[in-house]
Every structure is written in structure tokens, then in C-alpha cells.
A and B are shown apart, each in its own frame.
Chain A
């Protein structure tokens, strides 16, 4: 594998990878059951140089920004390799956001170039404010078409533009598009440090195949589904349609060894497995329990995929038969689920991190496996608990070279998030045990993370609830008001509504109806009706923390009234 400390930038490292691993397979792309292509590193290099040559022709200053807005596919990585080679800064935009949210991020980032796939480009009602656009999969005759970039014609490769470790490599927007956009400026140093730490714990090699399922703009896929495998000469597999049936067929057909998943997908896998097991006779299920116990005894101190696969071939076949490691990220993983997977010989790596600190700050190194914590700080990262209470719980602070430089163009927000001596205030609550394992218990910030890995900010939901019959209305994350009432996998949003008469019926009906029109992740679980006026500043801004404190002291979570749909209740 390449040695990250030997490089000054991601551009240098990736350019070397493309040369070093020549004959190994770099990229495989599937579309449903069809193989679109399988490229060696050498073939990938030719593709990269086509794009790099085009970028060179634009005469951009080093450090200019290039946005990539594509679903998971080979060309995402090709474009990224090309822009890093040219000393440009990556702005990965989440393809799952709505087009107005994407436009808002592009307006904030002001990239010089946008690389985009056609269906996403066509969703824009007006052209995005970007001078140069490269569109892939567009019909012939379209201007700025990827397919029209000249093939390598023996011309010299465009030069590698040098960057220093302290220069920005990427500006990654953490979810939450309401309020101030949070563009985390991450340096080459941050990525190379993080890469080194992760390669030490989870080394990959040529022949390993990572399935890139989480969006590549997401910090975890960027590392596990791109930079990591490229540094190690492993293969990255993409599937254009991420529906469960195609996930499993791809895992089997492409012999996937590594995958990063959000917890909701892990749950789907577990359910599919249970359905299969339930269909077996009782003696077989009992035998499986016995084999799981043997497997656990043999792998308690260290995971061993070969042993587990031999003991539990049926279970492993359900995951394609070659899986060695599952990285779970984006949201918190249910402890029992992680333990069950480990018993079945499928180690789930649980870590903790924020976009603000690259990929992970702590990770469970599986030596031994412990699902009760989010692991230990990785190499080069310090974790401390700020102002711990008598139970040792306080806000988790992180410091190290992987912490972002700043929020792009938001100095005030940066100053409230990073202390002058470099500590990143995460807004998460937790404690460290004697062996430096971090346990998370809640959040001190008003947000939830869904099992699908989406960060949802109550302020964003409030704006979708305008025109309610309540005198005043606010949305909260349950965990923000009652921090330890639930686990982090059970967080919900609820509304607080002030109603003059105290009659909850009208507002509840209204919320039930409005809820149906909200996207799933923004839906409210319940409502609390109050009669007291909300605390506000002189400029009438809601004092959210004061209201939360009042709710905490005067109510309990069980006072919330669920917003179940009447139609659902009427069902037998």
C-alpha cells in the first residue's frame, strides 16, 4: 500500500496510485444486473487524464473549486482524481438533496466548475451559477458533454499541480441546509492523516473489493469507498441502482469484501436474514445458534472471516459470501444488532465522527469487538469530555490534524465551533471509560440523525409548518429537551404548540394532515400543547434554549401526544 506520510497532497497520492497499481482493477460499475465496465488502474488513469486535460484548458488558478454532483459511479472518482491532480478543491454535493438545496450550496461555494450527470442537471429549472459545466450521459450535441472529451492521443499528461499539506483539499457541506451553510474546509493534511490512521487498523490490499453505497460526498464513503481502496490498490464497485435486491446480487457477483452502510440498511439486511432463517426447520435454527456460539468463542478476541465463513456458510451466502468487514456510519448503530452480526461472523465497525473532523475521531478496532462504545480515538486524534458531571458525562471535544480548518466563509460560526486552542465542540454528549472507549449518550444540540444517516434540524421543519392554527409553534429534537430519556437510535422530532384555549384537537388534526406531506425524515412524531407564551428576544427571536429548559422542568417525554394518522388507527 502507498504510504500517506510520503505525500504532500491527495493529488500526489492518487496520481501515484494510478501508476503503481497498473494492472489491478480500480473501478467496476454495475447498472442493475448489467456490468457497465471494469477498469484497471491504467484504464482509469486514461479517463482521469481526459478530464484533467479539460480542466487544464480552463486555466483555473490552483485552489479554484470544482463541484461534483453525481450519484455513486466510477466517474465521480475519475473527476475527483482529475481535479486533485490539477491542484483544485473538491466540493462534493449530495445528490439526494432537492434541487433548490443543491443550488443554495452551489451559490455559497461558488465553484468554477460543476461536474454533473444529466438527469440531475435537468432537474434545475434555471442554470446553476457556475462558469464551466461538464455533463455526463447527455445526448449527442449537448454542450460540455463528458463523452466528447478527447481520448488520450499520445499527448503528455497534464501536469500535477503541487499543493501543500495545509492547503484545502475539499469543502464538504454537512447536512442541514437551513440557516448558515456549513462548508467544512478539510486540508490535504487532514485526509492523509486520517488515511494513515484507518489503513493501520483496517488494511486493504489488491483483490479486496469495496462496495460504494453511501453517497460519495459522505465522509465515510469518500474514505472507505475511494481514497482508502485507491491507496491500497483495491477495487471500488458501484451499482447505479441501490435497491436491496441489486445490493445483494452485486455483493455476490462482484465478490464484495468491504462495505460501508447506514444503520437502516444494516437493519434491512438483518430482516432479510431473519426471514430466511424463519423459513428453516427448528432443528436447523438451533444448530445455527450453536454454530454462532462456537464462532463467537473462536473469534472473541479477533475477527476471523475464514473461520466464520466455514462455520456459517448459509448466513454468509446471504451477504454475497465474501464479506469481511462492514463499516457502519452516518448514524448510531443499535448495540444488539452489531453484536448479532459479530456473532454471525460479520464484524461491524462502529465509529464516531463528524464531517468537521474528516471521517472518524474514534473507531472500534475490533481488538476485541465491543458494541457498547463507539471505540477509541484513532491515531493523532485527542478526545476529551468538557465539563463532565459526576457521572463523567459532558460535551465531547475533539482535537487533532483531522479537524477542519474552518467553515467556508463563516468566521463567526467557526469561532463558536472551534476553540482558540483547536478543540472542536461536537455538541454530542458522552463519557470516556478507563480504556479510553467513548460512549455516547445524547446531544446538547437541537438535531436528530435518522437511521438513514440524515441530519435533520428542527428549524428546517418549522419552516415547513408555517400557517398553523397555533398561536406559536416550535419544533424540537426529543433528545435535546430530555437528553437521556431515549437512546440515540430512537430520536424523534416533536412540535410544541401554544394554543390559547388549551384545546389540542385543532392543532393535532392540522399537524397530522401536514405531517403527511412532509418527507419521511422531516416528520413529527408527536406534539405538546401548552398555554404559556414562548420566551423571545427583543427582536422576537425564539429563545430556544430557554424554552427547552422550561419544557424539561415542567414536562416529561410521556406528556407528548403521538401524531398517528387517523386512517392508520382505524385499521384493524
Chain B
């Protein structure tokens, strides 16, 4: 399973965005037009999807899909 690709699809579904317009290097706050509270709920969806547990502080400065995918990748 390609983590980045799965993550982009998950994010697009969750916030009803056009998947084809999301790129791995995008800042997800801007691309999804979400705030930090929304981003936290995305993280929970990520945990369920990938079957991992990610401490909150590991993602506190993460802003792009690719960086988030890297964090997930380390935990899988």
C-alpha cells in the first residue's frame, strides 16, 4: 500500500475535496482549508486506516502530506 496515495485519498474523502487536486508536497492546512482541530480528527482517521498509533507531539510541526506520510511510514 502506498502510504502517501492512501493518505491523500483519505484526506480528500474526509473533507470532501477533489482528490486529483491534492499533491503530496501540499500544506494540508491550506490544501484542505482546515484548522488544527480538524487536522487532529484527520490524524484519528489515519490511525484507524493504517492501524498505527501516533503520539500527538510527533505531528505537531508536520504540515505537508508527504511529511505526515513519513511519520505514518515509520510506525507501520
Contacts and interface: CB of A to CB of B under 8 A. Distances in A.
Contact of B57 (A95, A245, A571): A95
Interface stretch (A218-226, A236-244, A480-488): A236-244
B57 A96 contact: yes
Contacts of B2: none
B56 A119 contact: no
A268 B37 contact: yes
Contact of A516 (B27, B40, B57): B27
Interface string A28-43: 0001100000000000
B30 A567 contact: yes
Interface string B13-43: 0000000000000010110010011001101
B43 A565 contact: no
A71 B56 contact: yes
A153 B32 CA distance: 56
Interface residues of A, number: 26
A242 B43 CA distance: 11
Interface string A105-144: 0000000000000011000000000000000000000000
A98 interface: yes
Contact of A244 (B27, B37, B53): B37
A519 interface: yes
B60 A96 contact: yes
Contacts of A242: 56
Contacts of A32: 53
Main secondary structure of the interface of B (DSSP, over half): helix
B6 interface: no
Interface in A227-285: 240-246, 264, 268, 271
Nearest to A119: B55
Given A516-B27, A520-B36, A565-B30, A243 B61 contact: no
A568 B30 contact: yes
Given A71-B55, A119-B55, A98 B61 contact: yes
Contacts of A264: 36
A565 B43 CA distance: 25
Nearest to A267: B37
Contacts of B27: 516
A565 B26 CA distance: 13
Nearest to A243: B40
B47 to A, nearest CB: 8
Nearest to B29: A520
Contacts of B61: 98, 519
Contacts of A246: 44
Contacts of A96: 57, 60
A519 B56 CA distance: 15
Contacts of A519: 60-61
Contacts, number: 44
A244 B40 contact: yes
Contacts of A568: 30
Interface in B30-76: 30, 33, 36-37, 40-41, 43-44, 53, 55-58, 60-61, 63
Contact of A243 (B30, B56, B57, B58): B56
Interface string A47-76: 000000000000000000000000100000
B41 A245 contact: yes
Nearest to A265: B37
Contacts of B33: 571
A324 to B, nearest CB: 24
A310 to B, nearest CB: 30
A251 B42 CA distance: 21
Contacts of B30: 516, 565, 567-568
Contacts of B40: 243-244
Contacts of A120: 57
A250 to B, nearest CB: 14
Q: Which of B41, B44, B58 has the most CB of A within 10 A?
A: B44
A181 to B, nearest CB: 21
A71 B29 CA distance: 25
A241 B56 contact: yes
A240 B58 CA distance: 13
Contacts of A565: 30
A119 B55 CA distance: 8
B53 to A, nearest CB: 8
B44 A119 contact: no
Contacts of A268: 37
Contacts of A244: 37, 40-41
Nearest to A269: B37
B23 to A, nearest CB: 12
Nearest to B42: A243
Interface string A12-35: 000000000000000000011000
B19 to A, nearest CB: 17
25 contacts: A32-B53, A71-B56, A95-B57, A119-B58, A240-B55, A241-B53, A243-B40, A243-B41, A243-B43, A243-B44, A243-B56, A244-B41, A245-B41, A264-B36, A268-B37, A452-B36, A516-B27, A516-B63, A519-B60, A520-B29, A520-B36, A565-B30, A567-B30, A568-B30, A571-B33
The 10 tightest CB contacts between A and B, nearest first, are A243-B40, A268-B37, A519-B61, A119-B55, A243-B44, A95-B57, A244-B37, A242-B56, A96-B57, A516-B27
Interface of A: 31-32, 71, 95-96, 98, 119-120, 240-246, 264, 268, 271, 452, 516, 519-520, 565, 567-568, 571
Interface of B: 27, 29-30, 33, 36-37, 40-41, 43-44, 53, 55-58, 60-61, 63
Given A96-B60, A242-B56, A519-B60, 11 more contacts: A32-B53, A71-B55, A240-B55, A241-B55, A243-B40, A244-B37, A244-B40, A245-B44, A246-B44, A516-B27, A520-B36
